[in-house]
Amino acid sequence: MIHVVRQKKKFPVIGLMASAVLVAACLYLFTIGTGSVAERTKEENLNALVEAVKRASVQCYAIEGRYPPSVEYLEEHYGISIDRNAYNVFYSGWASNIMPDITIIPVEEEEE
């Protein structure tokens, strides 16, 4: 009779290294994807704020016959909400019957 003895397989080091590389690659791709979504969301929020301020300015002109004197006026009377910690708003109108120049710039975040 033939007696066959099976040797126990040792855990291959190559398999462990391949798994570690695969997990690291997945984490890297996840991080890149998350950053991309965050950037796109910031851009969309900025565009939405710019459009809301312009739309409220035009609405003010249509209702009152003049453009608003300041962004604070829009916040008080037309429901505009601006996160001053996230955006710098520059609103300059030199005549009440001419559309003011509206510039909104995101605040630069300081990296520590």
Quote the Cα angle for 42-43-44, to 5°: 90
DSSP one-letter code for 100:
P
Rounded Cα gap, residues 57 and 104, in angstroms: 14
Report field, pTM of the whole predicted structure over 0.95: no
31-73 tens-digit pLDDT: 888 878 888 888 899 999 999 999 999 999 999 999 998 889 9
Chain CA centroid to CA 71, Å: 22
Q: How many CA atoms lie within 13 A of 79 on its CB side?
A: 3
Give residue limits of the domains in the chain.
13-106
